[in-house]
Amino acid sequence: MTKNLYMEKIGEKAKIASLNLSNLSIDKRNSVLKQFSHYLKTNEQLILNANKKDIFNAKSKKIKDSMIDRLKLNTKKILQIRNAIKKIIKFKDPVGKTLSSWKRPNGLIIKRVSIPIGIIGVIYESRPNVTSDVSALCFKSGNVVILRGGSEAFHSNKILAKLFKRALKKKKCDENCVQFVESKDRSHVDYLLSEMKNYIDLIIPRGGKELVKKVLKKSAVSIIGHYEGLCHVFVDRDADLSTAIKVVKNSKMRNVSICGAAETLLIDKMCLKTHCKPILDQLSKLGCKIIGDKTIKKFISGKMKIAREKDWKTEYLSPIISVKSVNGVTEAIDHINKYGSSHTDSIVTKNRKTAKKFLSNINSSIAIHNASTQFADGGEFGFGAEVGISTNKLHPRGPIGLDQLTTYKYILEGKGQIRK
């Protein structure tokens, strides 16, 4: 591939910024975050005006309503962004922590100490709040970040990144600790993924299936993230009906466009007569379309599409849910492990033995008992915000917050010991 001078310059600046960032105290880093939060408040109208341009362009391109919903900013959402930053400020420094230490028989002291990952490239779609969340989390954890947002949120992302850089300048820090790729040229993304391994230590994709697929195919750098959010709720035979209704309704309908929204509902055959109709009636009242197997059809008054194999593999991100009857927890586990995406899955049951079996045997990065799948969120975990959710088997897994944006080194302290 021909050398991309624009991206090379970004990489070179990031390398220098990484060295400068490593020398910043936690107080200095927090002062930048406070300044950024202040700029978000004083420049709210500027942010909203930029966002209006993105909304107008999205509607003219007939982008789906669920995507526009993710894209939209307002006073309330900007306040939520500022609140997330305030929470991040309150966290202790994740860098320089002694994770473990021990003394060898020869007197050598060995410590495992947390350090930043280095330079992180984040490629994401739609949500402008990702720009602020990721910038704040990476900066606080001592990481330089290169941001490449989706073209649909270009103006919103650009102003948010600009305000962060302004905060860095105000506090006399290297402005290149946060860099935004100010171009819609897709060749820059290809170059970032395939030709910048000398600069970038980690790539985090955050967006739809096609984006993640592209990143997985082209990246020469290590990746953490998730492919899609095929989340399940399993209503066990020992489930309390009122709890089941609450959990299913919230898991599906609180926000249908997020990766933690339930896409498949599994109901134990032993409780179909008591639980199926009340749960599905509540979903239908909220405007949710039911696609079920032939057994589920018996409990639906009116028309219902019969589920096919592809429906168990579909992330709808809309008010549609696939419903299947299963013969107990073992069949539920088998179904989730076959069709799920290792994201988030929940069981509703009063039987702790059954719950333990479910939680231990599903492959999900987040396994839940008697609560909504929509708690799959760094903010809800108490992380302040998240860079994304990882379904990788290797570290990190689940919501990626401050601590997950660090790695470690071993530090050995001796008194002249030599190896025999």
Q: Can you give the pLDDT at residue 126?
A: 75
Q: Can you give the pLDDT at residue 271?
A: 97
Do residues 365 and 387 lie in contact, with contact meaning Cβ atoms separated by under 8 Å?
A: no
Low-confidence winner among 100-109, 213-222, 241-250 (lowest mean pLDDT): 213-222
Low-confidence winner among 65-79, 103-117, 141-155, 186-200 (lowest mean pLDDT): 65-79
Residue 86, C-beta contacts closer than 8 angstroms, at least 6 positions apart:
37
The pLDDT of 57-79, averaged and rounded, is: 89
Q: What is the pTM of this model?
A: 0.88
Q: Can you give the pLDDT at residue 395?
A: 75
Residue 163, C-beta contacts closer than 8 angstroms, at least 6 positions apart:
36, 39, 40, 43, 47
List, as one string, the DSSP characters of 334-379.
HHHHHH--SSEEEEE-S-HHHHHHHHHHS--SEEEESS-GGG-STT
Q: Can you give the pLDDT at residue 399?
A: 87
pLDDT tens-place string over residues 190-215:
999 999 999 999 999 988 778 888 89
Do residues 248 and 347 lie in contact, with contact meaning Cβ atoms separated by under 8 Å?
A: no
Higher pLDDT residue, 150 or 49? Answer: 49
User: What dotted CATH number matches 231-375?
Assistant: 3.40.309.10
The pLDDT of 367-381, averaged and rounded, is: 94
Work out the mean pLDDT of the chain and round it to a whole number.
94
Reduce the DSSP state of residue 219 to 3 states and report it. Answer: coil
Q: Can you give the pLDDT at residue 63?
A: 85
Q: Can you give the pLDDT at residue 109?
A: 97
Whether pLDDT at 164 is above 90: yes
Bridge-based pairing state of the strands 320-326 and 344-348: unpaired
Q: Can you give the pLDDT at residue 2?
A: 87
Low-confidence winner among 64-68, 107-111, 217-221 (lowest mean pLDDT): 64-68
Do residues 315 and 230 lie in contact, with contact meaning Cβ atoms separated by under 8 Å?
A: yes
Do residues 237 and 271 lie in contact, with contact meaning Cβ atoms separated by under 8 Å?
A: yes
Q: Can you give the pLDDT at residue 277?
A: 96
Measured on CA atoms in the order 9, 11, 12, 16, is the torsion positive or negative?
A: positive
The pLDDT of 249-274, averaged and rounded, is: 96
> What is the token pair recorded at 178?
């946060």
Q: Can you give the pLDDT at residue 70?
A: 82
Domain ranges of the chain: 5-224+400-413, 231-375
pLDDT tens-place string over residues 140-161:
999 999 999 999 999 999 999 9
Q: Can you give the pLDDT at residue 391?
A: 84
Measured on CA atoms in the order 256, 261, 267, 273, is the torsion positive or negative?
A: negative
List, as one string, the DSSP characters of 327-341.
SHHHHHHHHHHHH--
- 5-224+400-413 to CATH, choices 1.10.260.40, 3.30.565.10, 3.40.50.261, 3.40.605.10: 3.40.605.10
Q: Can you give the pLDDT at residue 50?
A: 97
Q: State the pLDDT confidence band at 95, using cuts at 50, 70 and 90.
A: very high
**Is the N-terminal amide bond of 116 cis, ω within 30° of 0?**
no
Measured on CA atoms in the order 5, 9, 11, 12, is the torsion positive or negative?
A: positive
Q: State the pLDDT confidence band at 325, using cuts at 50, 70 and 90.
A: very high
The pLDDT of 328-341, averaged and rounded, is: 97
The pLDDT of 89-94, averaged and rounded, is: 96
pLDDT tens-place string over residues 12-28:
999 999 999 999 999 99
Q: What percent of the chain has pLDDT over 90?
A: 83
Q: State the pLDDT confidence band at 387, using cuts at 50, 70 and 90.
A: confident
Measured on CA atoms in the order 335, 341, 342, 347, is the torsion positive or negative?
A: negative
